[in-house]
Structure 1
Amino acid sequence: MDKLNRCPANYTPLSPIVFLKRAGSVYREHTSVVYGSVRFTWAETLDRCIRLASAISSLNISNGDVVAVVAPNIPAMYELQFGVPMAGAVLCCLNVRHDARTMSVLLRHSEAKVIFVDLQFLEVVHEALHLLSQQKNAKVPILVLIPELNSRQNSQYTDPAYLTYESLLSNADRNFKIRWPEDEWDSIALNYTSGTTSSPKGVVYSHRGAYLNALASVLLCEMMSMPVYLWTVPMFHCNGWSFAWAIAAQGGTNVCLRNVTASAIFDALVEHKVTHLSGAPTVLSMIANAQPHERKPVPHIVQIVTGGAPPPAAVLSTMTKLGFHMIHSYGLTETYGPSSVCVWKPQWDSLPEEQQAKLKARQGVPHLGLWDIDVKNPETMESVNADGKAIGEVMIKGNTVMKGYLNDVAATEAAFDGGWFRTGDLGVMHPDGYIELKDRSKDIIISGGENVSTIEVESILYNHPEILEAAVVGRPDEYWGETPCAFVKLKGPKQVTAESIIAFCRARLPHFMAPKTLIFQDLPKSSTGKIQKVELKQKARALGSITKRQSKL
């Protein structure tokens, strides 16, 4: 048995590129991409990606070189998920909300040799490239413009100053030989976390991890053959939570949206008979709180995967009533997006609605691409008691964990210290083996020696009938050290007072957990829909410390 060896007949490196190759044959006449009036079949998408790979190679791109892109969820963005690795290069999708300074830092750190830019973001990228050109020894990438693709007859931008996406494809080789990875550990993508620009963290994915996480994503969202997937998650975020590759695996239809709004979502659900979508809790809130004129009856049950911050139980309940089957997943950029799923059990169907929503809000169990998820004491590396009370750090191990951070050995070693990936998230393990997040380690509030989970306080706030969005951070307090400070956005004109909402919380929480400060305002968000707590923490600190006399009230 030990003398049996690998050979081309029984071993090929895993890569999600193979999903496109198969889709272009098996589902060749089926619609692959929808974008306004634009339609492509899988045969056409395969052809376009091969020509894209050829065009990229003609720009002197070698194996392992980085190709960047700044674009929303449009057909070109989808094609780049395959065309870049088919050229042997590494795809780096940059956040479209980055300013020019941040982009210039990331372009230098990644050493990108080419950057594809949607026309909408050309001005900020031009400024970023100008900043980059002024830095010593910095290399400025070749710019390729992606004009708006309104139709196949009117798809080219005529300004001769630019290389353009469609012109590159039109002059490319349809018979280009795909550069398959020689080793499945080869890098396929580079994704930057939302850390500071002074020390960017570039998360490197492998072909193997991308392949496995895409298949795991298909399974966790119960995706059958030829699904219709609505793109509400940005493709620049973890390559669309790995769904960019997953949809090809199942020969599905990608419904692309340049701008995500409640009305656009409901229109697409009805027009294209969408079966699946994904989104952060802010997307759920957008759907759940859509105005009557924006809503349309959902024609069938739609599977929706949510992740990011734990969704409030009240939002989950509303989404179910609207006709969505909620699947709660959890993951990070470092885990290719989804890494766990709250697997629903039939015996929970008979539980009261409120209890069902609380169960569904848990982060659950590892998906099939992982080895394990655990909650551990970060000092001893011992598992915490599975009692739903003992708090530890959520740690992950398996094939769908990143290769590491680009050019940052120290950060990589720290993240993998102890043989597990340390997420920085605090959670508990329930007796049934399901994990539940309690907070980010950097967000937990310690008030008078007691840990206050901002997630628990936010969950109570979301149960208030007048509150649309809520976020809780710590505010300095002379007596307690810090106390909860809530930032709240209401559903309509202000009809409640801060005092009445605080009283609402005190009636449902231990008093030390209830907010002592409450501020009405719009909440700052990242491009992936996450509430920017860093900004809110700065504002809470700027309020100053609550005095000892006020604290004891």
Structure 2
Amino acid sequence: MSKQTELELLADLEKISHQDRYHCKTTYDVFCHAEDEYASNIAIAEHVTATRDEAAKKLTFSELVKKINQTANLFTSLGVQRTDVVSILLPNLTETHLSLWASQAVAIANPINYLLQVDHIVEILNEVKAKVLVTVSLSDATDLGKKVHEIIDRVPSIQHLLLLDSSHTENINKQLSITDFNSAISTQFSERLTQSSRPAQDDIAMYFHTGGTTGRPKIAKLSHGNISFVVQVYAGFNAYHGQSAVLNALPLFHVFGVIAASLSMFIVGRTVVIMTPEGFRNPNTVKNWWYFVNKYQVCWFPTVPTIMSVLLQQPDEEIDLSCFEHAGSGSAPLPLELKTSFAQKFNCSVTNGYGMTESSCLIARVIPGFDVDGVSVGNGIPYTRVIAAKLIDNKISRVCRANETGIILVKGPNVFQGYLNESDNATAWVDGEWFNTGDLGVINELGHIQLTGRAKDLIIRGGHNIDPQVIEDALLAHSNVVQAVAIGQPDVHSGEIPVAYVVLKDKQQTTTTELIEHCQAHISERAAIPKRIEILDSIPVTAVGKIFKPALRNKATEFSVTSLFKSHDISAQVNSEFDPEKGQLVHIRLSNSQDQKRAAALLVAFPVLVNYINS
């Protein structure tokens, strides 16, 4: 009998509705199930330093669920109700998990990137009208502590402050309750919540900031049904990993770290190893990564392309990695050369997935047991529909043929409940039911999705979404700037970095250094400040006079590759072009053909396709 295709397998799976197949309807159900099935398994192993001799702080599933219940009861004791918001401003800690899952059980969780500048954090907190803030401390000796002082003064909705360290509570002028988090939960009941106080499938579980840097944040509403559905699908994809522990150094304010790398592991009784509060930003995490892979006998871990590149460059050690078989990449495009090099060096398979906050983390995944070409992200997950389409006035004019480029649209139980601010929903939906991902791609006869670019002009810097209009508006506020265009320049470390091209009234009056200083003064989010600004005589336009960004992306790509080569004494002619079916291409003609091996090593994590031309 011939092997089923992916599409046939998915069709068979969908003969049973997702409501009948997946029995956990809320994130609280996930933990009740985990406790019933895996009470004595270790749920969390927390490493604060990731030194090799560090003993982890561990919680079994029974202990974790009891603490989640206690934390939920604490929130309730503070007057928190189902539609109230608990904002979480924490690094990766056990308490972060307690806050995330307990707040969803009785209210709405709102994890926030604590590394954002305080103005941006304040904007998010005011947008969601946070009632409770959970954070580390009020110590002026830390950047986060200083931010919290300012937050208290500028966010009137906050009534309760929960601190992991409550030893710096003097000089607080505002009338609000301040509670020591761990002391307070220890006094609460640990029994499961009553049925009447538990969340329902349609209740909103999380408010996720989508990462944009506009003046008013864009907040995605994810329901319990959205998240629990994705968790069970993802756990099914990973069932062949068995009970292997997983190292998680992804941030717990991002859907990849929260949903794919945590909750999808908890539901099947697997140990989530917290790799330091700072995650991959802690140098010990990367330096000792393979030691911990061996220590916990990890067979699979989730990662991002920039970290794969860093792990490739770690010195070789005599560590038995025979347990390690699979790496799952997400959050950013995966360069083919990086995928191939990583798979070869560590003798593992590397799969590339696709998702976003608005899809509760997941849209597509390579189905276990099947192969895909290049860096395809595989098929749309079960019970979802993914199409490439041509749009006119935000309506589908036609669905694309196989291998024809179009805008990727998706609908299904994974798709979120819209944005918190209704004005953000106007262009998010196509024909009333399809979510517009803003990504360009092709879908072949097997349903394999290949992303080729973005229709929305977001710049994705290390997984952080940057709206180019923020940069452009800031530059246009300068009295000598006539035109300004911001784009993402390919970068080996961050995937993309923001750069800008400007036309000036008078070239003699303003320098690029002055323009960058202007941006620093007028852009509140540090990640959005352009790394480079180039002054042009004119901005390239199409035949009908619209700005032609692909020409600028080609220019930025050529600059990035040439600069990288120059810093390593490699001479080459570099030309870039955008191919609608393949994405960004770079053609390289080396002056010395013997430099190709060095050039390839430098570009292994470069997020474009590379073509070497023989002289």
Shared fold (TM-score greater than 0.5)? yes
Name which of 434, 453, 460 aligns with 2:448: 434
Tell me what 1:172 maps to: 188
- Counterpart contact for 1:73–1:235, Cα < 8 Å: yes
Distance in 1, Cα, partners of 2:537 & 2:244: 52
2:156 maps to 1:101: no
Higher mean alpha-carbon deviation, 219-228 vs 318-327, is at 219-228
> 3-state DSSP class of the match of 1:262?
helix
C-alpha deviation, 1:444, in angstroms: 9.8
2:280 maps to 1:257: no
Question: 1:134-533 maps to which residues of 2 (within 5 A)?
Answer: 134-135=153-154, 138-147=156-165, 163-175=179-191, 177-178=193-194, 180-181=197-198, 183-238=200-255, 240=257, 242-243=259-260, 244-258=262-276, 259-260=279-280, 261-292=285-316, 296-321=319-344, 322-343=346-367, 346=370, 348=371, 359-368=373-382, 370-379=383-392, 380-388=395-403, 390-406=404-420, 408-418=421-431, 419-443=433-457, 471=496, 478=538, 480-481=540-541, 482-483=551-552, 484=554, 485-486=556-557, 487=560, 494-497=567-570, 500=572, 502=574, 514=586
Residues 270 and 13 (structure 1), Cα distance of their counterparts in 2 relative to 1, 3 Å cut: closer
C-alpha deviation, 1:159, in angstroms: 5.6
Deviations 1:78-101 (A, max 9, x none): 222321122x11110001221111
Structure 1: 5+ residue stretches without partners:
1-8, 148-156, 349-355, 446-453, 462-466, 517-529, 533-553
- Counterpart contact for 1:72–1:234, Cα < 8 Å: yes
Tell me what 1:80 maps to: 99
Name which of 37, 59, 69 aligns with 1:40: 59
What amino acid sits opposite 1:409 in the alignment? E
2:76 maps to 1:57: yes
2:38 maps to 1:27: yes
Residues 22 and 429 (structure 1), Cα distance of their counterparts in 2 relative to 1, 3 Å cut: closer
C-alpha deviation, 1:310, in angstroms: 1.7
What amino acid sits opposite 1:496 in the alignment? D
Residues 272 and 336 (structure 1), Cα distance of their counterparts in 2 relative to 1, 3 Å cut: same
Tell me what 1:66 maps to: 85
Structure 2: 5+ residue stretches without partners:
1-19, 48-55, 171-177, 460-486, 502-535, 542-550, 589-604, 608-615
Deviations 1:246-268 (A, max 9, x none): 12210110100123232232222
C-alpha deviation, 1:219, in angstroms: 2.3
Deviations 1:120-162 (A, max 9, x none): 9984455445445555x83234221225xxxxxxxxx656765
> 3-state DSSP class of the match of 1:80?
helix
C-alpha deviation, 1:173, in angstroms: 1.6
Residues 490 and 364 (structure 1), Cα distance of their counterparts in 2 relative to 1, 3 Å cut: farther
What amino acid sits opposite 2:364 in the alignment? S
Identity of aligned residues (%): 18
C-alpha deviation, 1:417, in angstroms: 2.9
TM-score, normalising length: structure 2: 0.68
TM-score, normalising length: structure 1: 0.75
Residues 95 and 469 (structure 1), Cα distance of their counterparts in 2 relative to 1, 3 Å cut: closer
Tell me what 2:510 maps to: none
Alpha carbon RMSD of aligned pairs, Å?
3.8
Tell me what 2:596 maps to: none
Distance in 2, Cα, partners of 1:364 & 1:173: 45
What amino acid sits opposite 2:133 in the alignment? I
- Counterpart contact for 1:471–1:488, Cα < 8 Å: no
Tell me what 2:136 maps to: 118
Residues 291 and 182 (structure 1), Cα distance of their counterparts in 2 relative to 1, 3 Å cut: closer
Residues 335 and 443 (structure 1), Cα distance of their counterparts in 2 relative to 1, 3 Å cut: same
Deviations 1:490-549 (A, max 9, x none): 99993234x51616x69x999x96589xxxxxxxxxxxxx999xxxxxxxxxxxxxxxxx
What count of residue pairs does the alignment treat as equivalent? Answer: 467
C-alpha deviation, 1:385, in angstroms: 3.5
Distance in 1, Cα, partners of 2:168 & 2:333: 47
Distance in 2, Cα, partners of 1:480 & 1:490: 23
Deviations 1:324-383 (A, max 9, x none): 32221101110111210133665x5xxxxxxx7xx2411221112x42011111215144
What amino acid sits opposite 2:78 in the alignment? L
> 3-state DSSP class of the match of 1:377?
strand
Residues 305 and 239 (structure 1), Cα distance of their counterparts in 2 relative to 1, 3 Å cut: closer
Residues 131 and 421 (structure 1), Cα distance of their counterparts in 2 relative to 1, 3 Å cut: same
Distance in 2, Cα, partners of 1:287 & 1:194: 26
> 3-state DSSP class of the match of 1:242?
helix
Distance in 2, Cα, partners of 1:49 & 1:397: 32
C-alpha deviation, 1:384, in angstroms: 4.4
Distance in 2, Cα, partners of 1:531 & 1:75: 35
- Counterpart contact for 2:114–2:144, Cα < 8 Å: no
What amino acid sits opposite 2:62 in the alignment? A
